Structure 1
Amino acid sequence: MTEPSRPSVRRPSRLATGLRRAVVGLTTLGLGAGLVLVGADAASAKPKHDHGAPGPASIALPIGFQPEGIAVKGTKVYSGSRATGDIYVADLRTGNGRVLSKGPGTPSLGLKVDGRRLWVAGGAAGDARVLDTRTGKVLASITLAQDVSTEKPSFVNDEVLAGRYVWFTDSVRPQLYRVDRRHPRRVTTVDLTGDWKQTAGTNANGIVRTPDGTALLVVKSDTGQLFRVDPRTGVATVVDLGGYALTAGDGLLLKGRTLYAVQNRLDKIAVVVLNQAGTRGELRRTITSPAFDVPSTVARAGKYLYLPNARFTATGEPATLAYSINRVKA
């Protein structure tokens, strides 16, 4: 918006100046953290800021980007497109961004930053990629699921860095994939057993380590169950959440003993406090925001959580929709 030209003769009175400052102050306070950028001009819109918080509260992604995964390293935020596999990187301080790496035409889902490398879950392609975070160059392409076809589908959805290995979930196969971080093409398939019952819906999704680091936690999206998985055997045990179900559970984030679980189609984050072993947990609160439009995954920087709006339920052609990454307080 162009500012009105200043009068050449009359100066504004103290009262007018005071009123103007009051209006600006009220407008700033009204912005808040929950802003969703919609419409065809969202990608070129100026980023909006939280009052008193650094950087934009909402970062516009390219029109039609269709984000799913997210990762944060320092002041950089990365998101992947489930449509093309493109990787987008933006600055948390300014909201300015660019396509870091052009995708292979298959999805880029869960993301994790590992030093100067970015691990990317490949969705229906049944694979993963490792990218250079500075140049976007593909450092390694990794086949995870074997014999992927319409009769034997795969959906590599998310991953977690755990010591020497990276663990990937598969939402349509009852198994995890263990990849050696130093030798990415060394892949081991671990079958999920024990309490795990594979169903026809979206099964294994978000994954983190237990607070004590001895096991893995995997959310099963269709039933809302959280499982503790022994990484040596694949034996899965249901975590006691006191009756709470993580229905539509998607991305997971662990901070100390606090688990942030995104419930995508419910437009909220469940905040669960776990015991050290990850066998029990208690829901403490949920986080919601007017900015949420089916958030999928979550990353953290300082006191804030960042989530991409996947907009699975939005009307209209996905290739023409606006998408954004939005910030809430942790």
Structure 2
Amino acid sequence: MQHHLARRGFLGAAVALGAAALTTPLTTGTAHAAGPGGRWPAGFPLPRGFQPEGIAIGRSPYAYFGSLADGAVYRASLATGEGRIIHQGPGAGHSTVGLKIDRSERRLFLAGGWSRDIRVIDPRSGAPLRELSGLGAENTVVNDVILTPDAAWFTDSYQPQLFRLALDRTGEPADGITVLPLGGDWTQGPDFTANGIERTPDGRALLVVNTFQDGGSLLRVDPRTGLARKVDLGDLKIPHGDGLLLLGRDLYVVQQVINQIDVVRLDATGTRGTAIARITDPDRFRVPATAAVWGDRIYLPNARFGLDPDPTTADYDVVSAPRV
């Protein structure tokens, strides 16, 4: 999510029939790849005026996208690029920002942005399963979400806190949330601060983007105490860090308005990392905000923040790139 618009602070290698993307630095230089199996589309359109931000992909080859315009959710086949809106959303003035699907593919968790709500829906029918509203303070933005075995964790972009929605052994969400204040090294900015969220490689802590601190930083958060420690990324700054995607020990940091993804190799505990690649595609990246993986490819919705005079009539799409 981007702070420049409406009060918010928010890869591709060569495709089967498209332009080449650049991955640097890699020992072999530029990467080139087609779609999965050489047959699946490397990109596809979303509904006109949809205004996407988040993406989720589970164990099946389907991607889910949330709309900033009205909270709707769109489901697309990665094999064909075809899809449909499965959840109409609460309507104008409401959003779906980050979203994640659970391992059973029975629940899709939605971060409601300025609506200050968390929603859980059925990913097949779009039927609502749980809703928690009135979260945080008046300026709270429920931005992004990550799932752990016992909880769904959500960032608040305007308050130094995380929301925790407990999950039972079957993955069923609780009826209420708990708030985890952030302390330690966490520095809250004057406005938009927290953005994307992930788990550390060892699963024992959380990683949260802080777009304000020290020119853009990654913080490791103890989920029991809220104690935050800055992750040592060397000289890498992430002032435009948005979505995070962890694959093994490689963390993909989507830096949306500058149209690049920085790939960082973390240690097991997530206390330090080394930048190993930067992925760009000037011809196809139009402010990608978040990322999800299927097979050997990363998929990203182009959010197009700041590019369109009227976002309600703009053409939106999804692009993909090979994993580093």
- TM (norm. structure 1) is 0.83
Q: Which range moves more in the overlay, 133-142 or 183-192? A: 183-192
Query: Is 1:299 matched with 2:273?
Result: no
Indicate how the Cα distance of structure 1 residues 180 and 30 shifts in structure 2: closer, same or farther if over 3 A, else same. Answer: closer
Whole-angstrom CA distance in 1 between matches of 2:36 and 2:98: 31
- Other-structure match for 1:117: 107
Query: Is 1:239 matched with 2:231?
Result: yes
- 1:318 corresponds, among 301, 311, 317, to 311
- Other-structure match for 1:42: none
Q: Which range moves more in the overlay, 163-172 or 52-61? A: 52-61
Whole-angstrom CA distance in 2 between matches of 1:307 and 1:196: 28
Indicate if the aligned counterparts of 2:258 and 2:287 stay in contact, CA closer than 8 A: yes
The correspondence of residues 20-169 of structure 1 with structure 2, limited to 5 A, is: 31-32=18-19, 50=35, 53-73=38-58, 74-105=60-91, 106-114=94-102, 115=104, 116-143=106-133, 145-146=135-136, 148=137, 152-169=138-155
Amino acid at match of 1:175: Q
Amino acid at match of 1:328: A
Amino acid at match of 1:280: R
Query: Is 1:185 matched with 2:171?
Result: no
Indicate if the aligned counterparts of 1:32 and 1:51 stay in contact, CA closer than 8 A: no
Query: Is 1:226 matched with 2:214?
Result: no
Indicate how the Cα distance of structure 1 residues 52 and 133 shifts in structure 2: closer, same or farther if over 3 A, else same. Answer: closer
Structure 2 residues without counterparts, runs of 5 or longer: 1-14, 22-33
Whole-angstrom CA distance in 1 between matches of 2:159 and 2:228: 14
Q: RCO higher in 1 or 2 (8 Å CA, sep ≥ 6)?
A: 2
Give SS of 2:232's match.
Answer: coil
The correspondence of residues 224-303 of structure 1 with structure 2, limited to 5 A, is: 224-289=216-281, 290-303=283-296
- Other-structure match for 2:5: none
Query: Is 1:200 matched with 2:200?
Result: no
Q: CA deviation at 1:32?
A: 4.3
Give SS of 1:319's match.
Answer: helix
- Other-structure match for 1:24: none
Amino acid at match of 2:145: E
Amino acid at match of 1:315: D
Q: CA deviation at 1:57?
A: 1.2
Structure 1 residues without counterparts, runs of 5 or longer: 1-27, 35-48
Whole-angstrom CA distance in 1 between matches of 2:16 and 2:124: 36
Amino acid at match of 1:265: V
Give SS of 2:257's match.
Answer: helix
Amino acid at match of 1:160: I
Amino acid at match of 1:228: R
- Other-structure match for 1:22: none
- TM (norm. structure 2) is 0.84
CA deviations on 1:114-152 (whole Å, 9 max, x unpaired) are 121100000011111001011000001013624x4xxx3
Amino acid at match of 2:98: G
- 1:172 corresponds, among 158, 162, 165, to 158
Q: CA deviation at 1:201?
A: 3.4
Whole-angstrom CA distance in 1 between matches of 2:293 and 2:130: 26
